[in-house]
Amino acid sequence: MEPFDRFDEVPVPDQWDEIVDRAGPAIGEPGSGEDGATATHRRRSTWVLVGAVASVLGLVVGFVALSRGGDGDDAIGDIVVTPTDVVDTPTEAVDAADDPPPDTPTPVDEDEQVALTCSNASELAEIGQLLRSGQPTYDYQPARDVAQLVEWSDVVVAGDLVSARRTSAANGETYTSIEVANVEVLAGVGTVERIGSPSLWAEGLGDDPLADTVVFEGVRFIAFLDAFPAAPGGWAPYVGGIGFGCAGTRGEASPVAESLAGLDTEIQDLSIDDVIARVSVVADRQTEGISRPVFADDVCPPQSALDFGARDGFTQVFFPRDEVFPIQIIGAPGGTPADPFALIQRWDEATDESIDGERVEVVPIDGVDVGIATFDNGNGEATWRLADGSIGYLRSRGLDRDDIEEIVGALSGRALDAPVPGFDLDAGATDRFVVLHESVNTDVSSSGAMSECRRNGDPWIYRVYAINGDPVARFVAVIDRGPAPYAIGEVGPTTVIIEGVDDAEAPGVGDVIDADVDRFAALTRQPSIAEQDNTPDELLLGLDTEAVLTLFDATGDGLSDQVVALSLRLADGVTFLEVDWADFESHPDAARYLVELDGGGAGASNGGAGNTSIAGSTSGFRLGPADATEPVVVTVKIVDADGRLLQLSPTVRIVPEESR
């Protein structure tokens, strides 16, 4: 007999249609909610559901690679499944004809039933092996972190495991039906009394260890669940969405929580009570957002902070103007500020803003000349004149030239008296982009704060920003930043942005916490890290006098020190800081040169065509009126297309001579 001949006659229910129905929109398709906002969440269900059909096929052939979807971006990918080992627990196989109705557990006589207790690692391992029986293993796309898993879930709950049994649903699909009690909702909304995890114990594998109900005592659990009516209790877990362990155990000596399919790395080495405590913090953060962003002291101790306060409306988004103008955000369905997007404005015919430079290419789109420029750091812009004389202006992040052309070609101007007199996006002209958000500039509210820190022994400064408010404001806060942020993410209603040096130990969005009010207020009273270190050399400058600033190699590639000249200039009643790059040699990978004023990216400038546009040029940054006397802290940086730091100057404090 061939090794798998005994499986030839195993009946396999066709569950694919049920799985597809539950999965909702495929990856990359628009969701059904407003602005396609549900697409991101619903597409995650696919991984759980494909696992269900994979379990059926996998147990028939022993080892199966199941691939669903196409070769493009919508492909679900390979789901690899293997049967689990038979649990050596003596049970009597239940004849299918004698099975109780679907989702009806066998009545348990508690006087005769002996519960499996959990008080140590050995007992927990036995319970874990039992609950994993019949479960497939998955090759799947995991959540980025616990915060994202909370975001994907319809409800996150914790409580006690009461019992488990293999059951059959009305559609023929089989589950491990898990009864729970003393349930606490950590995030989302829902009443959970039973959870169904797709599983199958096929003929030929021996006695099913969950053919009869098994009762537990002292077992706690946490579950990240998706509403699925066909499953026992109407809830099914995400892959990696159930953890369990011995109750009342915390700390390093406690047994590490078990799971059905692995837990996120953030929580995989903790006891179940510690897992629940950690997820509770994350869930609260996801619900309330972040308003006072800091890293924990053991990650990157905060040393100073700024509270930007709240504001209503914008008078400047790229170009200052007093008029009311529309702001529209266009991106893929369900897109966030962390994803590629375009920000579009429309100005009246009196406006004469334009883009220029050697990277601009004039492209005819539907008979209209459109000036388009893209840059090595992933930013881009475009401008064109509509038939009514108004100006369309686009600024993008993470989009290439073809993307920009596709978006502009799909736009048509609305009536100028429309509530948001911007553009309509023709769905027939693009199937990849939608209008995510829109507003006029006077109807946008936002608030923000930031803190900065330095890891112990690390010379680099990290800055973390939290932006709350209307979606348009959160997208505006992300686009066109000077140093490219290495991390952008959503924490509930908050957009979190992190700037610094991205390395293996760099803090991430998941490390951001909300400081208490008193501590953050104390941080705002502290000077910046540069001022605390007394690292800024003070330069006393008069008008038209120069000081030399040296930039050092930040990569270890052996590039020699380079210098730039700083000076104060007066033009048209305005004081400018001029940076002269006449003798500067930039790193071969240079894409942008950045002049940071007072610790921010306000002085950032494009490097044009890389290092060739820096040498021999000058750049100016407005400081204030002719009688400006306020000192300004300046740092000069050179970065590559990904925002990696290549060359760096010391931070200096420039004091206008008249202020002494």
pLDDT of the residue at 81: 38
Residue in the block written with tokens 């995991």: 142
pLDDT tens-place string over residues 450-459 = 999 998 777 7
Distance CA 156, CA 222 (A): 7
pLDDT of the residue at 58: 33
Instruction: State which amino acid sits at residue 463.
Output: R
Domain ranges for the chain, please list them.
5-286, 289-311+446-527, 314-443, 535-659
Q: Which CATH class is domain 289-311+446-527?
A: alpha beta
User: Are the C-beta atoms of 623 and 576 separated by less than 8 Å?
Assistant: yes
Distance CA 38, CA 146 (A): 19
Distance CA 171, CA 168 (A): 8
Cα distances (Å, whole numbers) of residue 412 to 387, 407, 416, 425, 609: 10, 10, 12, 7, 32
Choose between 74 and 372: higher pLDDT: 372
User: Are the C-beta atoms of 303 and 452 separated by less than 8 Å?
Assistant: yes
DSSP string, 617-651: -EEEEEEEETT----EEEEEEEE-TT--EEEEPPP
pLDDT of the residue at 535: 54
pLDDT of the residue at 647: 87
Distance CA 237, CA 260 (A): 10
- Percent of the chain at pLDDT > 70 equals 73
Cα of first residue to Cα of last residue in the chain, in angstroms, is 97
Q: Which two tokens stand for residue 105?
A: 């557990």
User: Are the C-beta atoms of 628 and 516 separated by less than 8 Å?
Assistant: no
Lowest mean pLDDT among 94-108, 171-185, 495-509: 94-108
Examine the pLDDT at 79 and tell me if it is beyond 80: no
Choose between 266 and 292: higher pLDDT: 292
β-pairing, 214-217 vs 116-117, is parallel
pLDDT tens-place string over residues 591-636 = 888 888 876 654 444 443 333 345 667 888 888 776 777 888 888 8
Distance CA 116, CA 130 (A): 10
Lowest mean pLDDT among 226-235, 410-419, 530-539, 609-618: 609-618
pLDDT of the residue at 67: 25
pLDDT tens-place string over residues 331-349 = 999 888 989 999 999 987 6
Residues sharing a CB contact under 8 Å with residue 459, sequence separation 6 or more, in sequence order: none
User: Are the C-beta atoms of 153 and 241 separated by less than 8 Å?
Assistant: yes
Question: How buried is 208 (Cβ within 10 angstroms: 0-12 exposed, 13-18 middle, 19+ buried)?
Answer: buried
CATH architecture for the domain at 535-659: Sandwich (2.60)
Distance CA 496, CA 501 (A): 16
Q: How many CB atoms lie within 10 A of CB 13?
A: 15
Instruction: State whether residue 19 is helix, strand or coil.
Output: helix
pLDDT of the residue at 25: 35
Choose between 202 and 117: higher pLDDT: 117
Lowest mean pLDDT among 65-69, 336-340, 384-388, 501-505: 65-69
Beta bridge partners of 225: 155, 237
Examine the pLDDT at 53 and tell me if it is beyond 70: no
Residue in the block written with tokens 């200039």: 569
Instruction: State whether residue 98 is helix, strand or coil.
Output: helix
What are residue 519's phi and psi, to 5 degrees? -70, -40
